[in-house]
Structure 1
Amino acid sequence: MSNPVTTAPSPDGSRTSALTVPRRQARSRSVLVLSVCSVVGGIAIWWILSLLNQATLPGPPAVIAKFVELIGNGTLLPDIGASLTRVLIGFAIGSGLAIPVGFLMGWYTSARAIMEPWTQFFRVIPPLAIIPLAIVLMGIGEVPKIFVITLAAFLVSVVATFQGVLNVDKTLINAGRVLGAKDFTIFRRIVVPASLPFIMVGLRQGLGAAWATLVAAELIAASVGIGYRMQQAQIYYDLPTIFVGLVTIGVLGLLMDRIILWADKKLTSWQERR
């Protein structure tokens, strides 16, 4: 006769198989191993391609050497600081505005009727196309750079938040009203939690849009920044410096995305995950 599978109480009072935690740990380890193998494999492919085409494609050793040189001569760290500041400010303002605007559009029909046409209108216009207008209206300082990044983050995040409110299960809202809950209570206790997964996805996409807009934003008379450094390297055909900029943006963007993903798991721990 086989032994029954033991169970343990979960935090919400239900009983969970004792095998669940080891299985999850094993799955996490396998995902980590696959991720590491993927990174190593990508670098190996890059290295092989650079060996086959040494005239135009710098390999990892050349890029690492250039990275050390830029750090040593005091060039890269100020560039990273300037670009990171612009992205963080633009992303914070854009997403900070997008969340309440998205909630208004999703919750109030009148607000949706007023704001949605303009949101969709500007959403199909690339933020890069706003750069000439931003220069004319705002000058060539930090304001137009941050404005373009803010616009890119806002337009992505607002749609995700708006869609999240629209996708809230109407049965839950109706049940709250039947039980006598006021609109504010329903909004706070039902709509906001149910919309969080969409909001967090919107934040991740908004962050990607902010970084994607950075290089073009630093076209606006910048004297420091990763995008500016890459543009200067393009003039002199300095491919290792361009690769240093690409890798730096990718690593910084990945780290910030992991932070948002960690916050997502904490805020939506109730959500069933695969």
Structure 2
Amino acid sequence: MSPSPGKPVLQKARPATPEPPAASTPAARPRRARGGRADSVAWMYVATFVLGIALWWIVAEVTDNALAPKPPDVVIALGDGLREGWLIDHTIASLGRVAAGFVLGVLLAIPAGFLMGWYRVARGMLEPWVQFFRTVPPLALIPLVIVFLGIGESAKVFVIFLAAFLSCVIATFQGVRNVDLTYINAARVLGAKDGTIFARVVIPASTPYIFVGMRVALGSSWATLVAAELLAAPTGLGRMMQSAQQFLQTDRIVVGVVMIGTLGFAMDRLLLIVERRLTSWQEVR
């Protein structure tokens, strides 16, 4: 017998689907996946490091040049530098210069980038100068730096500061420019003023770009270190490498390269840790 058109059709209730156990929920699976990816990346770091050392050793052996340093020679020079203390002195001097130039550059680049991205007048006044000096290598500015600042510590820090500032200000400016207008318009519809929009929308949305700029600025700071220490530096890794070049001490040159690369890598990892904590809301692959 067919049901009446005016009455709803009653259906037998289906049994409820049991909830999956907590260990297999989607929230738990990504954590295990992230942990597995981190472990695999760590193993890849170790593997590529060992492979690089092996290739270096093979090339040094095949070259058959007495000046080509081999890994054992560099390890011996590194041990001598740590035991005698000269490597520690050079490292501390260079680390202080890089840290001072990098911090000053970032502290000035972030507000300058915000101004360029938020105000058209500031963009018109600052962007031409930023783009102009970005194309000039810091090494070319050393004679002018000597004329205006002399050969003291301020001149060395300024060269590093300039490299860090020019790298970070562009990333900050681009971060402000790339903020989705939908967020800004939605905040205005809800009654937010410009100050609130800037603090609650623009700054959080620009934070990932700022950290990218900071990482690039850190690399530029270390890359400019050797050029900065051309300014009659008494100590520093760049100065050590220049002196070693004059006396054909190639093992010490490699020690300087290893120290710069290691310190730069460690500082970059610290920036990544801070970035992950401050941008935990961001979805990443």
Segments of 4+ in structure 1 off by > 2 A? Answer: 2-8, 15-20
My pick for the range that moved more, 92-101 or 116-125, is 116-125
User: What is the letter of the counterpart of residue 211 of structure 1?
Assistant: W
Give 1:54 shift: 3.9
**Amino acid of the structure 1 residue aligned with 2:247:** Y
Task: Name 2:268's counterpart in structure 1.
Answer: 257
Whether the 8 Å contact between 1:5 and 1:18 is mirrored in structure 2 is no
Listed as ranges, the gaps of 5+ residues in structure 1 are 9-14
**Alpha-carbon separation, structure 1, partners of 2:91 and 2:152:** 18
What does 1:91-170 align with in structure 2 at a 5 Å threshold? 91-170=102-181
**Deviations for 1:85-118, whole angstroms, at most 9, x for unmatched residues?**
0000000000110000000000011111111111
My pick for the range that moved more, 252-261 or 119-128, is 119-128
For the Cα contact (< 8 Å) 1:6–1:17, is it kept in 2?
A: no
Residues 7-57 of structure 1: per-residue CA shift (max 9 Å, x gap): 58xxxxxx7343222222112111111111111111111111122224232
Query: Corresponding residue for 2:44?
Result: 34
1:25 aligns with 2:51: no
TM-score, normalised by the number of residues in structure 2:
0.91
Percentage identity across paired residues of the two chains: 53
Deviation of the 1:74 alpha carbon: 1.9
Shift, 1:270, TM fit: 0.5
* Aligned residue identity for 1:40: V
Post-superposition Cα deviations, 1:217-249, rounded to whole Å, max 9, x if no partner, equal 000011100000000010111100000000000
Letter in structure 1 aligned against 2:148: L
In the aligned structure 2, how far is the partner of 1:59 from the partner of 1:5? 57
Q: Which has the larger radius of gyration?
A: 2
Matches within 5 A, 1:228-243: 228-243=239-254
CA contact (8 A) 1:140 1:220 kept: yes
1:43 alignment partner in structure 2:
53
How many correspondences in the alignment?
268
CA RMSD of aligned residues (A): 1.7
Amino acid corresponding to residue 283 of structure 2 in structure 1: E
Q: 1:145/1:3 Cα in 2 relative to 1: closer, same or farther (>3 Å)?
A: same
Q: Is the 8 A contact 1:5 1:17 kept in 2?
A: no
Write the letter of the residue equivalent to 2:117. Answer: G
Which residue of the other structure, out of 16, 39, 53, is the alignment partner of 2:26? 16
SS of the equivalent of 1:19 reads helix
Of stretches 22-31 and 56-65 in structure 1, the one that deviates more from structure 2 is: 22-31
Are the equivalent residues in 2 in contact too, given 1:58–1:240 (CA < 8 A)? yes
Question: Secondary structure at 2:26's aligned position in 1?
Answer: strand
Contact 1:215-1:227 at 8 Å conserved across structures: yes
Which TM-score applies when normalising by structure 1? 0.94
Partner of 2:200: 189
